[in-house]
Amino acid sequence: MDKTYTDPVCGMSVGADTPHQLEVEGEQYYFCSDKCLQQFEAKHGGSRESGQTTDPVCGMTVPMDSKHHTTYKTKELYFCSASCLKTFNKAPDSYV
Ligand SMILES: [Zn+2]
Ligand SMILES: [Zn+2]
């Protein structure tokens, strides 16, 4: 049986296998999306390292000093690899 948790931001049920997790003062929280996680984190603070962002193509966490990055409209976007950046450049509108 899969254990599910409640996203504390939007109230959705999320599985324990969600990649959007955050530990705050020893408690683990689970979120449906990085958006909810960030909202929660902004309010409560967290142990997630700063200076990280999410690759919009594959969803991986990437350091903001990644050498694979591009400016799209006014946003600076970071990628885990040159191949994700290439994928993004092919259809930027589908990722932002
Ligand atoms: Zn949510
Ligand atoms: Zn990637």
pLDDT in tens, 5-47: 999 999 999 999 999 999 887 889 999 999 999 999 888 765 4
Tell me what pLDDT residue 45 has: 61
Listed in sequence order, the DSSP H helices in 11-81 are 34-44
Full-model pTM = 0.49
Tokens for 14, please give them: 């999320």
Q: How many angstroms does the Cα of residue 67 sit away from the middle of ligand 1? A: 30
Tell me what pLDDT residue 14 has: 96
Q: How many angstroms does the Cα of residue 5 sit away from the middle of ligand 1? A: 11
Q: How many angstroms does the Cα of residue 66 sit away from the middle of ligand 1? A: 27
pLDDT in tens, 47-79: 445 678 899 999 999 988 899 999 999 888 999
Q: Measure the CA angle with vertex 39, ends 63 and 80; round to 5°.
A: 20
Tell me what pLDDT residue 47 has: 47
Q: How many angstroms does the Cα of residue 36 sit away from the middle of ligand 2? A: 21
Q: How many angstroms does the Cα of residue 36 sit away from the middle of ligand 1? A: 5
Tell me what pLDDT residue 35 has: 95
